[in-house]
């Protein structure tokens, strides 16, 4: 076989109630970038956990062959020492350690003692490669989410892998950082490193991959050279088994009275003195309106939502009016009591209680509102959650499944469902479709449109440009903590958002 470096043969992996992988075979060539695409819960991450040794050879059926040799992995360390580097979907870092320590964790140079000089020198080289201008000794807590993601990639690179696996590496990256990553991967390819690239962003897949494998419900549907997937529609059809007629729906609507007014919101920068991450921002939200907030990662968009919601309070000053009346919101609890809901960006950190079932996570914020006598009405609770579960097409054996066991995208759906069920008057959503597959995105935009038509007022922070300009009725753009402009329906396009997003630089 010509220059095939890796083969996964007839891999089957079962969980209670789920066949995550069903007789899956793929191969990877030397110096190739193979894209793997598929719906949330299709089995992509599970396949990579088999490859990396996260699931040991005893925990699945099938075989992994590397450079013509059958591999038996009993741990991730085994996979790593054979040349497989895995970059996970969720970034885990030791926040209070240095960049160098994070990159070389468990892999430090030197035999008896750690060779710090070599570690710092090597780290500097890696940082230069991706254009991060920070000292290797910088404490990781100081990095932004894009830099953290890059750090995870560098940690993989430090092991000199033959195969680099990236599972949705760009969810936290700005367009510029994505460019850096793409160039970096192209260089690696030239050096003969092979790469498996998983993403829900079709433009990235088309841009970087030599071949694309589609997985659906644990089965390989097809692998083709990228150029032989004639267009996006064909690929999406293979992924979700149906056509998407209309990705974005937006019913023309006339927003009503102002329901929320924020005046002179100031959020001080957490580490830099005399700088504001949100700098004297004022805006209004109308009934039945979807107000988009655009800008680059780190411009202060999430902080606006968090501060208004009472999640961020340290040093914050603000005036908030709901239906024309001034209110004092100093905790999420008071925000919820005033009819505000919040779908947060960081699902792992703030979105759910991962040791609880889908059922209990979904009904959590709604509990005081469910019909009850003395106790929670279990039947009503379950019925409502079941409805969300079906509407959002959550892929799980049942509503009693633990959220921690769901695929990344399905966890995000549970969080969305949880707030939709609560049916707040005002809903904040932060990067709502991060990690969500294209089919579900289309469903979700339809749900948002219906909610706005029914009178819910929504503020959506999004870095997904097509989504921002297609879903919003009006857009505010932030740059470096300042509100640099507002775009009405007929001014909304990607160029105008970009222009304002860099206006404060
Ligand atoms: N530890 C586990 N216990 C039970 N079920 C699991 C476990 N891990 C994964 N699953 C199930 O296996 C299936 C495949 O999940 P996987 O995480 O591989 O999907 P994915 O393709 O990576 O999806 P996404 O795009 O949402 O990340 C899902 O139905 C998921 O719920
Ligand atoms: Mg996944």
Mean pLDDT computed over 3-21: 94
How many Å from the N-terminal Cα to the C-terminal Cα in the chain?
A: 53
Question: Which pLDDT score, from 0 to 100, does residue 73 have?
Answer: 93
Evaluate if residue 352 carries a pLDDT over 60: no
Q: Mark out the alpha helices in 339-407 (DSSP H runs).
A: 358-363, 378-391
Protein residues whose CB sits closer than 6 Å to any atom of ligand 1: 15, 18, 20, 38, 40-46, 395-396, 405-410, 437
- CB-neighbour burial class of residue 63 (10 A; exposed 0-12, middle 13-18, buried 19+): middle
Evaluate if residue 372 carries a pLDDT over 60: no
Confidence of residue 453 (pLDDT cuts 50, 70, 90): very high
- In the reported structure, the alpha carbon of residue 43 is separated from the centroid of ligand 1 by a whole-number distance in angstroms of 6
Task: Supply the residue whose CA is at minimum distance from atom 18 of ligand 1.
Answer: 43
Question: Which pLDDT score, from 0 to 100, does residue 89 have?
Answer: 60
Residue 392 neighbours by CB distance under 10 Å: 21
Q: pTM for the full model?
A: 0.80
- Which residues contact residue 68 at a Cβ distance below 8 angstroms, ignoring those fewer than 6 apart? none
- In the reported structure, the alpha carbon of residue 203 is separated from the centroid of ligand 2 by a whole-number distance in angstroms of 18
Instruction: Please report the atom of ligand 1 found closest to the CA of residue 407.
Output: 17
Confidence of residue 359 (pLDDT cuts 50, 70, 90): low
- In the reported structure, the alpha carbon of residue 20 is separated from the centroid of ligand 2 by a whole-number distance in angstroms of 11
Domain ranges of the chain: 4-240, 288-312+329-501
Q: Which helix (H) or strand (E) covers residue 430, if one does?
A: strand 426-430
| 3-state secondary structure at position 121 | helix
Backbone conformation region of residue 69, classed left if phi is above 0, alpha if psi is from -120 to 50, else beta: beta
Please tell me which of 99-113, 199-213, 347-361 the model is most confident about, judged by mean pLDDT.
199-213
Task: Supply the residue whose CA is at minimum distance from atom 1 of ligand 1.
Answer: 405
Mean pLDDT computed over 350-370: 56
Residue 53 neighbours by CB distance under 10 Å: 23
Question: Which pLDDT score, from 0 to 100, does residue 97 have?
Answer: 84
Question: Which pLDDT score, from 0 to 100, does residue 373 have?
Answer: 44
Of 30-39, 47-56, 353-362, 403-412, the least confident: 353-362
Evaluate if residue 356 carries a pLDDT over 70: no
Question: Which pLDDT score, from 0 to 100, does residue 1 have?
Answer: 46
CATH dotted code for 4-240: 3.40.50.300
| 3-state secondary structure at position 418 | helix
Question: Which pLDDT score, from 0 to 100, does residue 181 have?
Answer: 87
Nearest to 408 by CA among 76, 90, 49: 90
Rounded percentage of the chain residues whose pLDDT exceeds 90: 48
Question: Which pLDDT score, from 0 to 100, does residue 172 have?
Answer: 73
- In the reported structure, the alpha carbon of residue 215 is separated from the centroid of ligand 2 by a whole-number distance in angstroms of 12
User: What is the Cα–Cα distance from 441 to 419, expressed in whole angstroms?
Assistant: 17
Of 10-19, 113-122, 216-225, the least confident: 113-122
Mean pLDDT across the chain: 86
Task: Supply the residue whose CA is at minimum distance from atom 22 of ligand 1.
Answer: 45
Same fold, 4-240 and 288-312+329-501: yes
Question: Which pLDDT score, from 0 to 100, does residue 354 have?
Answer: 52
- In the reported structure, the alpha carbon of residue 188 is separated from the centroid of ligand 2 by a whole-number distance in angstroms of 24
Evaluate if residue 311 carries a pLDDT over 60: yes
Task: Supply the residue whose CA is at minimum distance from atom 29 of ligand 1.
Answer: 41
Task: Supply the residue whose CA is at minimum distance from atom 24 of ligand 1.
Answer: 40
Question: Which pLDDT score, from 0 to 100, does residue 129 have?
Answer: 82
- In the reported structure, the alpha carbon of residue 395 is separated from the centroid of ligand 1 by a whole-number distance in angstroms of 9
User: What is the Cα–Cα distance from 101 to 123, expressed in whole angstroms?
Assistant: 9
Question: Which pLDDT score, from 0 to 100, does residue 346 have?
Answer: 60
Residues recorded for the chain = 505
Question: Which pLDDT score, from 0 to 100, does residue 19 have?
Answer: 93
The top-level CATH class assigned to 288-312+329-501 is alpha beta
Evaluate if residue 301 carries a pLDDT over 60: yes
Rg (CA), the chain: 24
CB 71 within 8 A of CB 119: no
Task: Supply the residue whose CA is at minimum distance from atom 19 of ligand 1.
Answer: 41
Least distant ligand from the CA of 42: 1
Please tell me which of 38-47, 144-153, 174-183, 244-253 the model is most confident about, judged by mean pLDDT.
38-47
Residue 165 forms beta bridges with which residues? Answer: 86, 196
Least distant ligand from the CA of 240: 1
Confidence of residue 349 (pLDDT cuts 50, 70, 90): very low
Task: Supply the residue whose CA is at minimum distance from atom 8 of ligand 1.
Answer: 405
Mean pLDDT computed over 271-285: 91
- In the reported structure, the alpha carbon of residue 27 is separated from the centroid of ligand 1 by a whole-number distance in angstroms of 21
């Amino acid at each position: 076989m010509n220059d095939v470096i890796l083969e996964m043969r007839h891999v089957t992996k079962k969980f209670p109630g789920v066949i995550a992988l069903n007789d899956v075979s793929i191969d990877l060539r030397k110096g190739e970038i193979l894209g793997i695409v598929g719906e949330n819960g299709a089995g992509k991450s599970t396949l990579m956990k088999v490859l990396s040794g996260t699931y040991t050879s005893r925990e699945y059926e099938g075989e992994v062959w590397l450079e013509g040799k059958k591999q038996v992995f009993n741990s991730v360390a085994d996979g790593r020492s054979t040349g497989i580097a895995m970059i996970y979907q969720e970034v885990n870092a030791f926040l209070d350690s240095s960049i160098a320590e994070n990159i070389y964790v468990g892999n430090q140079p030197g035999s008896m003692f750690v060779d710090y000089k070599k570690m710092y020198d090597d780290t500097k080289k890696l940082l230069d490669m991706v254009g991060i201008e920070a000292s290797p000794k910088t404490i990781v807590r100081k990095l932004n989410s894009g830099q953290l993601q890059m750090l995870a990639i560098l940690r993989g690179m430090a092991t000199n892998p033959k195969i680099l696996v990236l599972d949705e590496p760009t969810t936290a990256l700005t367009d510029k950082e994505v460019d850096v990553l793409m160039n970096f991967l192209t260089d690696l390819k030239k050096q003969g490193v092979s790469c498996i690239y998983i993403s829900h962003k079709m433009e990235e897949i088309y841009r970087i991959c030599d071949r694309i494998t589609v997985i659906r419900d644990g089965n390989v549907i097809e692998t083709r050279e990228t150029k032989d997937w004639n267009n996006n529609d064909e690929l999406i059809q293979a992924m979700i088994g149906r056509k998407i007629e209309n990705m974005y729906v937006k019913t023309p609507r006339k927003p009503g009275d102002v329901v929320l007014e924020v005046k002179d919101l100031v959020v001080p920068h957490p580490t830099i003195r005399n700088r504001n991450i949100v700098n004297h921002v004022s805006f209004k939200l109308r009934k039945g309106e979807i107000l988009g907030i655009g800008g680059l990662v780190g411009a202060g968009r999430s902080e606006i939502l968090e501060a208004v919601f009472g999640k961020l309070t340290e040093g914050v000053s603000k005036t908030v009016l709901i239906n024309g009346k001034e209110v004092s919101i100093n905790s999420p609890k008071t925000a919820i009591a005033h009819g505000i809901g919040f779908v947060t960006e960081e699902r792992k950190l703030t979105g759910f209680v991962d040791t609880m079932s889908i059922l209990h996570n979904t009904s959590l914020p709604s509990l005081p509102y469910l019909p009850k006598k003395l106790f929670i009405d279990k039947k009503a609770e379950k019925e409502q959650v079941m409805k969300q579960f079906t509407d959002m097409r959550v892929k799980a054996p049942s509503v009693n499944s633990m959220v921690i066991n769901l695929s990344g995208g399905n966890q995000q759906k549970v969080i969305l469902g949880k707030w939709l069920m609560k049916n707040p008057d005002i809903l904040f959503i932060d990067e709502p479709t991060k990690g969500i597959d294209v089919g579900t995105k289309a469903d979700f935009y339809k749900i948002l449109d219906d909610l706005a038509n029914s009178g819910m007022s929504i503020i959506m922070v999004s870095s997904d440009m097509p989504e921002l300009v297609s879903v919003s009725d009006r857009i505010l753009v932030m740059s470096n903590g300042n509100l640099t402009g507002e775009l009405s329906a007929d001014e909304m396009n990607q160029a105008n958002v970009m222009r304002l997003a860099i206006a404060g630089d």
